[in-house]
Structure 1
Amino acid sequence: MQKFLGLIILLAVAAVAAFFMFGKEKVAEFSGGKQIPAENLVTVTGRTGKINFIQSDKVQHFLARHGLKVTVKKMGSVEMVQEVDSDDDFLWPASQLNVELFKNSSSGARLQQSAEIFNSPVVLYSWDIVTDALIKAGIVQNKDGVCYIIDLPKLLEHVMAKTQWKDIGLAQLYGSMIIRTTDPARSNSGNMFAALAANTLNGGEVVTMESVDKVLPKIKEFYARLGYMENSTSDLFNKFLQQGVGAYPMTVGYEYQLIEYSLQHKEHLPLLKSKVRILYPVPTVWASHPLLALNDKGKKLLAALKEPELQKLAWEEHGFRSGMMGVENDPSVLDVVGLPKSIDAVMPMPSAAAMDKITKQLSSF
């Protein structure tokens, strides 16, 4: 009897193991408490940098209820619209500028539909001691708990003049002031900060094809100091957190990154609240997150992502501000400090032609 009972237990354990090894691929997701066979899901394949979002369980379950199973390849925004595979059903870059670049590329004829799904402002990430020094220098202002860069021209001037950290009261930091960013020729955050810097150096006016040559030498000077630049905004943000203030005193990123990280790593929340600061340039630039549907499968994904339930999930679980009219984003529902209720001071991006000229000049770094 004991041998028979032992055999039953062994078979039960084997069955559970087999389910976890193979069953998830065959039995799939839940829809209102009902299982959806995997063969009933339409597999949608594409590229994006929003890996944490698209691969999260809640998002995958939501998409399964819409009959979709999404697989993605991680890639920078600028790079993905330039290197499209024939089996891509969608591209999900950041910035409307990348939509224009794609339309003008050899693959542009494949675009069937596009829409802005989310928005996230471009911000700088820094640390408590750096932010305090910038406040004393009159570059940053803390208003109602939100840190705004009120003098971006002065900050850029310090960086290009190689002002030493010790000269603004940070003797503990080595070397000169620097803002680390991703490669503007491969990653959207680097590309958008190049646009913001170019506009700032152009007297606060949006750079045009007539004025771009005037600011190019200064932009090249700024980026020439950075050395190696990451291709991915998420990789840069992770290094910012891992290596700390000495290696990464200020970095360019998106607002949603700290929100998403805080929600996924709540054990680090007290340290993040005490040490990390989000700095909002005044004005900043919006990083829209448009989805480019290249066929009918991509169009189905686009429609699902526009659903109010998904938009609410995107803000409360990942920090993406909605790209849909009528959907509000309340910072009070998030356990993250220093978030404004709205982003009011926003500057337009230069034209695609002007940005293409800037990017080509910076692609040699």
Structure 2
Amino acid sequence: MNKKIIGIAIFVAIIAAALIYQFTGSGSSPKEILLNGLIGGEKKGFLEDEDVKSILKEKYGVVIDYSKAGSIEMVKGNTQGRDFLWPSSQVALEIFKTTKAKHLVKSGLIFNSPIVLYSWSIVTDALIKAGIVKKVAASYFVVDFPKLINLVMEGKKWSDIGLTDLYGKISIISTDPNKSNSGNMFAGLLANILYGDVVDESSVEKYLPKLKTFFSHLGYMESSSGNLFEQYLTTGVGAKPIIVGYESQAIEFSIQNEELWPKVKDRIRILYPVPTVWSAHPLIVLNPKANILIKALQDKEIQKIAWEKHGFRTGLIGVDNDPKLLKVVGIPERIKKVIPMPKAQVMEKIMQALQN
């Protein structure tokens, strides 16, 4: 009788252990992995998200210690002691492969975000009257980008398009192309627009002087896309009539500033250049222990948070991004008119010209 009871007890214990394993895995949390890296400033809010931090730690054991840096700066600078880099463009990855290939362990695409222009209602209305911007449904598109660029290159004033309250010449303010990705991508897009197609190493030469003229008129340029977007919001239309940024920035701002957003949403305008360029966000692994970070950041739950709370479009095939889930009006479901960025060697030429 005692043997029978003991046998039943053992059987029950085995079943209980199996159930515990089924629902909790091995019954213990993953071993903690502390990873140190550099990230583009536009991803700071995402990595500070408590839901993201929780999933990374509880599901993958990953804890991230990061510092902000411009995408171009990070791939060209000192990477000693870093486990990963997370720039904001494929061009940055290609530059890294060209200059520091031996340090590359692995790379993977995490997010995408189109380059956009941020402006204000009064500026956008003037650009619509000038035939440069067109409103389609709730979205605004820069349908005559060459015309806008020509206004800048010709030194036209805001008053020439009816904006007598704005001082000075028409400009499109970007970050420093030699330090920050949004400025770098805008320089590549600008070269393509001037040429009328994707520039190569020979065709770009003709347009380098024009690019130098365009950016020299901007004066001091921020080294971080996040800093420029903050300046745009805090200094307003007088100081920052049009800036270059990422689509994700307005989406994230609307979530993180729920009280302020209703006060500014009717004045802010997101303008989609036609064509625009995609800003990819590849993760560059420098230490094998950081390989897990690619898998973790591609987790579907994390990708969902990235879109709905931070505005990053997914880098995964088969995952949709529904604009109806966002607070921001005018985000198109798909970005259809896109031109490729120039190759990394061409961008190096552009950066060198702008630096000099």
The aligned counterpart of 1:293 is 285
Q: Tell me, in whole angstroms, the C-alpha distance in 2 between the residues paired with 1:81 and 1:239.
A: 25
CA distance in 2, matches of 1:271, 1:160: 34
Counterpart-to-counterpart distance in 2, 1:129 and 1:228: 25
Q: Is the aligned partner of 1:132 residue 2:114?
A: no
Equivalent position to 1:48, from 30, 35, 39: 39
Determine the structure 2 residue equivalent to 1:114: 107
2:134 match: 141
Residue 297 of structure 1 and its aligned partner are, at CA, apart by 2.2
Secondary structure at 1:274's aligned position in 2? coil
Distance 1:361 1:221 in 2: 11
Larger gyration radius, structure 1 or structure 2: 2
Unpaired runs of at least 5, structure 1: 1-30
- Give the drift of 1:36: 8.4
1:234-281 CA-to-partner distances (Å, cap 9, x unmatched) read 000000000000000000000000101111001112123210000000
Contact 2:153 2:214 in 1 (8 A): yes
Kindly report which structure 2 residues correspond to 1:262-281, keeping only aligned pairs within 5 A, or say none: 262-281=254-273
- Normalized against structure 2, the TM-score is what? 0.90
Is 1:209–1:354's contact at 8 Å kept on the other side of the alignment?
yes
TM-score of the pair, normalised by structure 1: 0.88
Q: Deviations over 1:284-325 (max 9, x none)?
A: 000000001112222111110111111111001100000000
Q: Tell me, in whole angstroms, the C-alpha distance in 2 between the residues paired with 1:205 and 1:104.
A: 24
Alpha-carbon distance in 1 for matches of 2:28, 2:224: 34
Q: Equivalent residue of 1:190, what SS?
A: helix
How far apart are residue 40 of structure 1 and its match? Answer: 4.0
For the residue of structure 2 that corresponds to 1:104, the secondary structure is helix
Q: Is 1:102–2:96 an aligned residue pair?
A: yes
Q: Does 1:206 align with 2:194?
A: no
The answer to whether the Cα contact below 8 Å between 1:95 and 1:288 also exists between their aligned partners in 2 is: yes
Are 1:73 and 2:67 matched, yes or no? yes
Q: Measure, in 1, the Cα distance between the counterparts of 2:164 and 2:63.
A: 52
The 2-side partners of 1:85 and 1:333 are apart by: 38
Q: Secondary structure of 1:291's match?
A: strand
Q: Which runs of 4+ in 1 moved over 4 A?
A: none
Matched, 1:335 2:335: no
2:83 aligned partner: 89
Once the 2 structures are TM-superposed, how far is the Cα of residue 85 of structure 1 from its aligned partner? 2.5
Residue number in structure 2 paired with 1:255: 247
Structure 1 residue 175 displacement after superposition: 1.0
The answer on whether the counterparts of 2:253 and 2:261 sit within 8 Å (CA) in structure 1 is no
- 1:156 matches 2:149: yes
What residue number does 1:165 align with? 158
CA contact (8 A) 1:292 1:298 kept: no
Greater mean deviation of Cα atoms: 209-218 or 132-141? 209-218
Partner deviation per Cα, 1:106-159 (whole Å, 9 max, x = no partner): x32121111110000000000000000000000000000100000010000001
Return the alpha-carbon distance in structure 2 between the equivalents of residues 297 and 187 of structure 1. 27
State the identity as a percent.
Answer: 50
Range with greater deviation from structure 2 (345-354 or 267-276):
267-276
Maintained 8 Å contact 2:116/2:246: yes
Counterpart for residue 230 of structure 2: 238
In the alignment, the residues of structure 1 paired with residue 129 and residue 98 of structure 2 have an alpha-carbon distance, to the nearest angstrom, of 46
Total equivalences in the alignment: 329
Question: Distance between the aligned counterparts of 1:205 and 1:70, measured in 2?
Answer: 40
User: What secondary structure, in the 3-state scheme, does the structure 2 residue paired with 1:197 have?
Assistant: helix
Greater mean deviation of Cα atoms: 243-252 or 157-166: 157-166
Q: Distance in 2 between matches of 1:64 and 1:246?
A: 44
Give me the whole-angstrom Cα distance separating, in 2, the residues matched to 1:160 and 1:183.
Answer: 18
Instruction: Note the C-alpha offset of 1:87.
Output: 1.2
Provide the alpha-carbon RMSD of the alignment.
1.6
Alignment-derived partner of residue 12 in structure 2: none
User: Is residue 115–residue 290 contact of structure 1 (8 Å, CA) maintained in 2?
Assistant: yes
Give the SS at the match of 2:174: coil
Distance 2:264 2:125 in 1: 16
Partner amino acid for 1:127? W
Q: CA deviation at 1:54?
A: 1.2
